[in-house]
Amino acid sequence: MQIIRGTLSAALSRALREELVMRNVARLVELPQWQPATVLPWSAQEAKEFLDAAKDDPLYPAFALLVLYGMRRGEVLGLRWRDVDFERGLLYIRQQLGRVGKTLYQGPVKTKAGQRDLPVLAMARIVLTAQRERQRQYQVAEDAVWVDSGLVFTTNSGRPIEPRNLERSFKRICTQRDIRIIKIHHIRHTAATFLKAQGVPARDAQLILGHSHISITQEIYQHDDMETRTEALAKVERLFKDDSEWPTRRTLPSGLPSNSRQGSGFVQSYISSVSGRIGCGGRTRTCDLVVMSHASCRCSTPL
């Protein structure tokens, strides 16, 4: 509904400028706040299991690039050999392959930010080299009908691969090996989450994934789980591992009863010691920490 209203509002805004309507009524419609669908990307183990299961599939090199770089499906299928520079070790992401209605087209990537250069990782070099050799074999076997499309990933006759066929192969592999099926686009979420888990700065992840805004990378594509939350909070906990640095009863202000009802343990000792420094000690001011018992407070001002 959000998309429908946005499209209608744009059309009515144009009509308003041309004085065909008196106002844009689409802007008066109130819709529930948009909530993105929950995405549960693969864990590292699931991604490894999938790549292991796909090793004998002709499209394995394409799947490897999806997992390694978080490329869009259309970017992988639209990759040309002229975009692969083995000598300099770079991949130039410049175009995508997609379908609009009944037409399969090749065109520029989604946004200007999507035009990016990526390093040819060792694993990528291996799978791309294997793909080039496989394609040469296709060309020899299908010489009479071979079409030189210039694409890295093609059918046996050299033609572009139908995006839906990549999706079908992906689901078939997952089903055969009992791997949790996710949307193929969610492999992109998986790669983004891997970058986050490895401590890659969000700005770098944005450039790798080709997002126009860093907020897209952080708010939509990067996810966490209980394991990452536990690791994050464990880092905070380690700041307090040395018990000798925690306030104890030995640091309580002189004259404070040891059997006070103010509480016990770390929190109570901390409250007592801090209040002795900033609110008590015979100074003519009220306690800064109202949780202290007035009976044990040494302030001169009554509560």
Is pLDDT above 50 for 64?
yes
Q: Output the pLDDT for position 270.
A: 44
Q: What's the CA gap between 94 and 233, in Å, rounded?
A: 41
Q: Per residue in 67-125, pLDDT tens?
A: 999 999 999 999 999 999 999 999 999 999 999 888 899 999 989 999 999 999 999 99
Mean pLDDT computed over 4-27: 89
Q: What's the CA gap between 35 and 238, in Å, rounded?
A: 36
Q: How confident is the model at residue 246 (pLDDT cuts 50, 70, 90)?
A: low
Mean pLDDT computed over 211-225: 90
Q: How confident is the model at residue 291 (pLDDT cuts 50, 70, 90)?
A: very low
Q: Per residue in 248-271, pLDDT tens?
A: 555 545 555 545 444 445 445 544
Q: Output the pLDDT for position 6.
A: 85
Q: Output the pLDDT for position 28.
A: 84
pTM: 0.70
Is pLDDT above 60 for 272?
no
Mean pLDDT computed over 17-42: 85
